[in-house]
Amino acid sequence: MAFNRDLKLKKPIVEDYSYSLEEAFNKGKNETRDRYRAMLFMYQNQLEAITAKHDEEREVYRVQGKLELLKELQERRKEEGEE
């Protein structure tokens, strides 16, 4: 019977890991929060990179459109000059 009584009195988490259940819960909560915060930071960086790439592509297409328009205008001038 003394053995069962010793098991009931013992707090294995406190004695083995040196923190209470509340501290263990808070530690897990903090680690989970940090993990999701890191994931959110990664997604934010990825979104910023995608947005920057999209902006660059828009600029390239805008310049290409202007060049095509200039090319068409030059061709029309050449045609008008030949007539």
Would you kindly state where each structural domain of the chain is located, as residue ranges?
10-82
Identify which of 59, 67, 53 has the alpha carbon closest to the alpha carbon of residue 75: 67
Distance CA 14, CA 56 (A): 57
Q: Do residues 12 and 4 touch, judged by C-beta distance below 8 A?
A: no
List all residues 6 or more positions away from 19 whose beta carbon is below 8 Å from its beta carbon: 13, 27
Q: What are the tens digits of pLDDT across the range 11-70?
A: 655 555 556 788 888 888 999 999 999 999 999 999 999 999 999 999 999 999 999 999
- The CA R_g of the chain, rounded to the nearest whole Å, is 34
The helix or strand, by DSSP H or E, that contains position 11, with its residue range, turns out to be none
